[in-house]
Amino acid sequence: MTAPSTSPARVRFAPSPTGFLHLGGLRTALFDWLYARHTGGQFILRIEDTDQKRYNPESLTDLMRSLRWLGLEWDEGPDVGGPHAPYIQSERRALYREYAEWLVAQGKAYRCYTTEAELEELRARGLPYDRRHRNLTPAERAAFEAEGRSAVIRFAAPLSGTTTVHDAIRGNISVENATIADPVLLKSDGLPTYHLAVVVDDHLMEITHVLRGEEWIPSAPLHQLLFEAFAWPAPIFVHLPVILDPSGKGKMSKRKTVVDGREFSPYVRDYMAGGYLPDAVFNFLANMGWSFDAEREIFTREEAVARFDVADISPKATALPFTKLEWMNGVYIRQMATAQLVDALAPYVAADLGLDAEALRHDRRLIELTPLVQERIKLLTEATALIDWAFVPATQITYPDPTQLIGKKLTATESLDVLEAGARIIERIEPFTPPALEAAFRTLSETMQIKVGSLLTPFRVAITGKTVAPPLFESMHVLGREETLTRIGNAAAALRTLAATTV
């Protein structure tokens, strides 16, 4: 265990809105948030949308919805504002240009007029940019301008030596400066590249810790050089381990992954719609590259905030076990108080059955059925199939296969007798409660000399239309005496028809 950090950190999540947020991105945001909260600092949301070609407007809405769903509220960001607004890079373009020009004035960056065709020629030969315009004379520059060529601003990277970046969990990462081929900082459309914008913003927004995916490791030395060129202190870098596909073989797919014949999506929105609880997803993702301790897999948000430290993040790539997420969701469902689970289930059940979610929250049937299904579901989406029978009229409970109404080792006629005997009990029993019903049906099983299991099957199918359903006497109670009798009557009629045609 590490001692809690004391100085408040400023940590940003800086996604590019190019598509729907996936679980890997959400894990980065979660670690950013955890560290900010652990240190009593700030969590900042910054939108890196300077690549206009890849911009997807739907993605921003999806991103914010997903973060809020997980409970990762940001202290500063596009919609909430903050001391360093705006937090959307395309709204900050004038700023980046200013800083790029400053580097040019200092001789640390230069205008490059190389045409797209010339660059393509280099690429075709497998060559990087050859710094051909790094030392243009004023006359040469004027000639290109006169030709009407557009210019980009490139960084004049050191031509020799090594740059070493320290990563808090990986140690030193070094590159030969000569391999940094004067990357573009400002494009000809006046927009910055990621490298310029990220460095300028991390500085201006006073970011202390950069926690981001390990795919950004190759960019870190360049960022460090840019911080040095501006004479700004660099933040602490922490490159988070990549999330692998469940097989552990490759990077998690951007499409669906198939595990044991079932499809799992990489997108957070599919978990929101798919009956997952934010607390379970939070807990699950916190285990992807960090661990609470050697034994505990299940912990609360508060416990994670209290203990989280970057020093404890493992740089090792982790496979994402989707089925474990499902299991964990079941654990969280079982831990919920009934009232909480009713609230969580209502929107799913309402959507499935075309009911009003708000009304359903207060519906006695859902309130009574919830504890009965709590142990049986791993996803909120699984409840409807177990309880839908309670929300439809008796006419909608049909028996397309009336043989299902026959108890084990019974004939159709015997099952019919059972239903009729049971109906006589239900008509009169006082009080009409699950324990009283259970006692009466046990006695019936003894009198009729039929095992309880076989005796109850006809009733289960009669009232729910299903062979697998929540506990029977509670289900009868949910329906009420009249409705229970109606359904038993309908089932008896179906059995009578069956008995008549098969005898």
Residues found near ligand GLU in the complex (CB under 6 A): 14-16, 48, 198, 212, 216
Distances, alpha carbon 180 to alpha carbons 12, 49, 160, 234, in Å:
26, 24, 10, 18
Task: Answer yes or no: 254 catalytic.
Answer: yes
Nearest approach, Cβ of residue 89 and ligand GLU (Å): 9
Nearest approach, Cβ of residue 484 and ligand GLU (Å): 58
Residue closer to ligand GLU by CB (options 222, 494) is: 222
Handedness of CA 185, 187, 189, 192 (dihedral sign): negative
For residues 50, 53, 57, 62, the Cα torsion angle rounded to the nearest 10 degrees is: -80
Nearest approach, Cβ of residue 369 and ligand GLU (Å): 44
163 three-class SS: strand
Nearest approach, Cβ of residue 144 and ligand GLU (Å): 32
**Residue 44, both tokens:** 């900042």
**Contact 450/410 with Cβ under 8 angstroms?**
yes
Residue closer to ligand GLU by CB (options 207, 320) is: 207
Nearest approach, Cβ of residue 106 and ligand GLU (Å): 24
CA distance 252 to 205: 31
Q: Do the bridges between strand 236-240 and strand 209-213 make them parallel or antiparallel, or are there none, so unpaired? A: parallel
Residue closer to ligand GLU by CB (options 220, 485) is: 220
Nearest approach, Cβ of residue 27 and ligand GLU (Å): 12
Q: How far apart are the first and last CA of the chain?
A: 75
Residue closer to ligand GLU by CB (options 15, 77) is: 15
Nearest approach, Cβ of residue 292 and ligand GLU (Å): 25
Distances, alpha carbon 67 to alpha carbons 1, 89, 175, 268, 279, in Å:
28, 19, 35, 9, 12
Residue closer to ligand GLU by CB (options 75, 352) is: 75
CA distance 233 to 372: 59
Determine how many CB atoms are found less than 10 A away from the CB of residue 42.
21
CA distance 304 to 38: 8
Nearest approach, Cβ of residue 364 and ligand GLU (Å): 49
Residue closer to ligand GLU by CB (options 38, 212) is: 212
Handedness of CA 348, 353, 358, 361 (dihedral sign): negative
**Contact 226/255 with Cβ under 8 angstroms?**
no
Q: Which of 108, 187, 249, 254 is catalytic?
A: 254
**Residue 433, both tokens:** 């409660």
Residue closer to ligand GLU by CB (options 112, 196) is: 196
**Residue 314, both tokens:** 């493992």
Task: Give the helix, strand, coil percentages of the chain, each rounded to 5.
Answer: 50, 10, 35
Residues near 282 by beta carbon (within 8 Å), at least 6 away in sequence: 30, 70, 71, 301, 304
CA distance 244 to 17: 22
Residue closer to ligand GLU by CB (options 48, 326) is: 48
Nearest approach, Cβ of residue 88 and ligand GLU (Å): 12
Q: Which residues of 71-103 are buried (b: 16+ CB within 10 A; e: fewer)?
A: ebebebbbeeebebeebbbbebbebbbebbeeb
Residue closer to ligand GLU by CB (options 48, 182) is: 48
Q: What is Dmax (Cα atoms) for the chain? A: 111
**Contact 25/212 with Cβ under 8 angstroms?**
no
Positions marked active-site: 254
